[in-house]
Structures are given as structure tokens and as C-alpha cells.
């Protein structure tokens, strides 16, 4: 079940997606008509299945075809996986910021950190360590840079 909250921010419509994107998702009904700029916040999307991917691409392609500027912000790790897997997943939109998986070296907790894409490029994908919220230890990037950041390296 996907919930969408909408917020008009000047000329920009900001939509926040919350929940899994599956068979039942109808983006036309949930988002509908958009102004000339649409920002999609994906931090609340834990999963998207293959049917969900199809409706996602169908909807955002139609939006992009109308000349709407699309930006994807705070993309969850599930969304980043799809961006890497499917070349037209963002339908020409810009990926502004993403969540990145980390693992604590002390207590092995899995954590996520949020990064601006521009900052990641500046860091040349060499991520700083994060402080573990559970034990205070050091958490390090927990994936393969060439895979997780693949969509940014091309
Ligand atoms: Zn820890």
C-alpha cells in the first residue's frame, strides 16, 4: 500500500511516497496532474516489485513527455537498486540525493546515511565513516562503489 502526500512549494509540486510500490499502485490516481516541476521524495519506499516498476516508468515517462522537470530526492536503497538496474527508471529526471547503506564495524548494525549526489561526486565516491547510532562505533559504506554508484559513474 502506497501513501502519497503532496505539497505545493511555489511552482514545484513535492510528493512524498510512503510504502511499497506494487500491483495496486495507480500513480495517475495518487499523483495525477503536475505543474512544470515535480520533486519525488522516495525515502519512504522500502520495496518496489516488477509490476510496480512498470507502472512507475509508465507514469513518469508520461510526465516527462509533457516537459515536466523531474527530480528524485532522498531515494531509498530500494529505489537506488532500480536506478542501477533499469536504465530509463528515472525517465530523464535528476537524482538529487540518495540513501547509502552502512555497516557498523563494532556491533554490525546496518545503518543508512543520506548524501547529496553532488557531494558524492566531489568525494569521488570515497565515503566518510558514520557514527553508529547504537554503539557509537564507526560505520563504513556497506556495498560495492562500482555497483551502488554505477548510475553516477556513467
Ligand atoms: Zn554499532
CATH number assigned to the domain comprising residue 15: 3.30.750.24
Note whether residue 20 is domain-resident.
yes
Residue 133 is assigned to a structural domain of this protein: no
Distance 68 CA to ligand 1 centre (A): 43
Closest CA to 150 of 89, 105, 103, 102: 89
Three-state DSSP at 124 gives coil
How much is the mean pLDDT over the chain? Answer: 96
pLDDT at 125: 93
Contacts of 125 by beta carbon, 8 Å cutoff, 6+ apart: 145, 149, 152, 153
Question: What average pLDDT does range 123-151 have in this prediction?
Answer: 95
Residue 81 domain flag: yes
Distance 45 CA to ligand 1 centre (A): 24
Give the Å distance between the CA of 89 and the centre of ligand 1.
Answer: 34
Kindly state whether residue 125 falls inside one of the protein's structural domains: no
- Please indicate, yes or no, if residue 112 is contained in any of the structural domains: no
Tell me, in angstroms, the distance from the centre of ligand 1 to residue 81's CA: 25
Q: Locate the DSSP E strands across 10-150.
A: 12-18, 37-44, 69-73, 94-95, 97-104, 110-116, 130-131, 138-141
Cα angle value 96/150/36 (rounded, 5°)? 30
Residue 67, φ and ψ in degrees, nearest 5: 85, 15
Number of domains in the chain: 1
pLDDT digits (tens, 9 = 90+) for 24-45: 899 999 999 999 999 999 999 9
Q: Could you tell me the distance, in angstroms and rounded to a whole number, from the CA of residue 141 to the centre of ligand 1?
A: 13
Half-sphere exposure of 100 (CA within 13 A, CB side): 26
Range of the domain at 86: 3-95
Is 58 inside any structural domain?
yes
Centre of ligand 1 from the C-alpha of residue 136, in Å: 6
Residue 10 located in a structural domain = yes
Residues 128 and 130: their CA atoms lie apart, in Å, by 7
| pLDDT given for residue 1 in this prediction | 86
**Residue 62's pLDDT is what?**
97
pLDDT of 114: 97
Whether 53 is covered by a domain: the verdict is: yes
Amino acid at each position: 500500500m502506497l501513501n502519497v502526500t503532496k505539497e505545493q512549494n511555489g511552482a514545484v509540486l513535492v510528493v512524498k511516497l510512503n510504502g511499497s510500490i506494487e500491483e495496486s499502485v495507480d500513480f495517475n490516481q495518487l499523483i495525477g496532474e503536475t505543474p512544470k516541476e515535480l520533486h519525488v521524495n522516495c525515502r519512504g519506499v522500502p520495496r518496489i516489485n516488477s509490476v510496480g516498476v512498470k507502472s512507475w516508468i509508465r507514469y513518469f515517462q508520461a510526465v516527462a513527455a509533457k516537459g515536466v522537470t523531474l527530480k528524485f530526492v532522498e531515494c531509498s536503497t530500494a529505489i537506488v537498486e532500480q536506478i542501477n538496474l533499469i536504465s530509463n527508471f528515472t525517465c530523464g529526471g535528476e537524482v538529487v540525493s540518495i540513501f547509502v547503506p552502512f555497516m557498523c564495524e563494532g556491533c554490525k548494525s546496518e545503518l543508512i546515511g543520506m548524501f547529496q549526489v553532488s557531494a558524492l561526486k566531489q568525494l569521488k565516491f570515497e565515503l566518510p565513516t558514520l557514527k553508529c547510532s547504537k554503539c557509537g562505533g564507526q560505520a563504513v559504506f556497506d556495498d560495492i562503489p562500482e555497483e551502488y554508484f554505477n548510475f553516477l559513474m556513467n
